[in-house]
């Protein structure tokens, strides 16, 4: 099962590579040492938060504000962890506490779209390869810089999005509900981000909750009216 | 290493870990009403929707870049390709597009 997790995580590992290489390069130009850069990837393991922290560090922002911003941005993982909890097998608590560390947008999406239940060893495999790619490539980025040709770098930036689409489409083919959930959540997210200028972490949380509740409510209502007839 | 940076990293790590860990450890075996269980099952699809839209279309100022990536990913995965192939084709198509 560990092996299955590793295999499922290869797409994440590839998608993380350019993001982590760029993080390493930016961290260097922000003035972080290679130890600080690598340590941040080892301890935090959250792409968007790490990028923003570099920006804030370079602006001379205080520690509390940086940590608070990180918290706001990553609170969405609470929702993902709660959802994943409905799908995971009953493993020892320490194992669940351990793999909980590796829940990111990407590892969550892959685990949640897997057929059947999810075991701790699957999660360890999935996270092992994703986390390794993240940490190692952050360090490499600091040493050699992201000197990939610019057009390759640019097209690689689509990799994680392509993975999300690749996870979603098979679900839509088998269950129409998935389509309504994705579209409604995406539209709410557009309104929140582009119009109301809600911070990204919160926008994902709010659009996910609203769309998940609304679609559930609409479905149960439809079921009731069908039964009533 | 500067202690200031070290404490920032440590603090970031703690506030990132707590929301990831709490539901998996504290919520285990809490019996939710069926409605909320259904809502939690909906979360992955809704999350994917919010992760893709609008982010994928805004990777670059050129809207066509994201559109082309999106549609090639949709077509390839609709044809039944696994995620690795989808990623590979999508990157390839956009590499060609940026070279044109």
pLDDT tens string for chain A (229 positions)? 899 999 999 999 998 988 898 889 888 888 899 999 999 999 999 988 898 899 888 888 889 989 988 998 888 899 999 999 989 999 999 999 999 999 999 999 999 999 999 999 999 999 999 999 999 999 999 988 656 677 776 777 788 889 889 889 999 999 999 999 999 999 999 999 999 998 877 888 899 999 999 999 999 888 877 766 5
Give the residue on A whose Cα is nearest the Cα of B41: A83
Among candidate residues A102, A126, A157, the one where a domain is terminated: A157
Structural domain containing residue A112: 2-157
- The answer as to whether B1 is a domain residue is no
Task: Calculate how close chain B gets to A20, using CA atoms only, in Å.
Answer: 16
| Cross-chain Cβ contact B24/A81 below 8 Å | yes
Same domain, A121 and A179: no
- The answer as to whether B18 is a domain residue is no
| Cross-chain Cβ contact A211/B41 below 8 Å | no
Among candidate residues A157, A188, A210, the one where a domain is terminated: A157
Question: A26 CB near a chain B CB, below 8 Å?
Answer: no
Residues of B in contact with A151 (CB under 8 A): 95, 98-99
Q: What is the ipTM of this complex?
A: 0.89
Output the DSSP codes for chain A. -HHHHHHHHHHHHHHHHHHHHHHHHHHHHHT--HHHHHHHHHHT--HHHHHHHHHHHHTT--HHHHHHHHHHHHTHHHHHHHHHTTTB----HHHHHHHHTT--HHHHHHHHHSSS-B-HHHHHHHHHHHHHHHHHHHHHHHHH---S-HHHHHHHTTHHHHHHHHHHHHHHHH-HHHHHHHHHHHHHHHIIIIIS---HHHHHHHHHHHHHHHHHHHHHHHHHHHHH-
Structural domain containing residue B50: 31-99
Task: Calculate how close chain B gets to A118, using CA atoms only, in Å.
Answer: 13
């Amino acid at each position: 099962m560990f092996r299955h997790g590793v295999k499922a995580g290869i797409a994440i590992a590839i998608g993380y590579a350019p993001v982590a290489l760029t993080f390493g390069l930016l961290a260097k130009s922000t003035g972080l040492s290679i130890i600080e850069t690598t340590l941040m990837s080892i301890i935090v393991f959250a792409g968007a938060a790490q990028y923003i922290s570099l920006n804030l560090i370079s602006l001379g922002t205080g520690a509390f504000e940086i940590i608070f911003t990180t918290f706001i941005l990553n609170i969405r993982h609470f929702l993902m962890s709660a959802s994943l909890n409905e799908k995971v097998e009953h493993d020892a608590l320490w194992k669940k506490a351990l793999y909980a560390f590796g829940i990111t947008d990407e590892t969550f999406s892959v685990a949640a779209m897997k057929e059947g239940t999810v075991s701790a060893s699957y999660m360890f495999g999935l996270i092992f390869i994703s986390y390794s790619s993240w940490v190692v490539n952050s360090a490499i980025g600091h040493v050699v810089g992201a000197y990939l040709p610019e057009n390759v770098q640019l097209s690689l930036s689509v990799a994680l999005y392509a993975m999300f689409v690749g996870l979603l489409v098979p679900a839509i083919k088998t269950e129409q509900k998935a389509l309504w959930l994705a579209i409604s959540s995406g539209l709410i997210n557009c309104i929140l981000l582009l119009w109301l200028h809600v911070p990204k972490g919160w926008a994902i949380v709010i659009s996910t909750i609203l769309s998940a509740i609304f679609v559930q409510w609409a479905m149960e209502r439809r079921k009731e009216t069908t039964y009533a007839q | 290493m500067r202690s200031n940076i070290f404490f920032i990293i440590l603090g970031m790590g703690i506030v990132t870990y707590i929301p990831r860990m709490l539901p998996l450890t504290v919520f285990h075996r809490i019996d939710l009403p069926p409605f909320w269980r259904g809502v939690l099952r909906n979360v992955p699809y809704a999350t994917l929707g919010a992760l893709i839209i609008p982010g994928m279309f805004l990777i670059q100022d050129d809207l066509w870049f994201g559109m082309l990536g999106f549609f090639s990913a949709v077509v390839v995965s609709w044809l039944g390709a696994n995620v690795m192939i989808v990623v590979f084709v999508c990157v390839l198509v956009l590499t060609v597009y940026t070279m044109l």
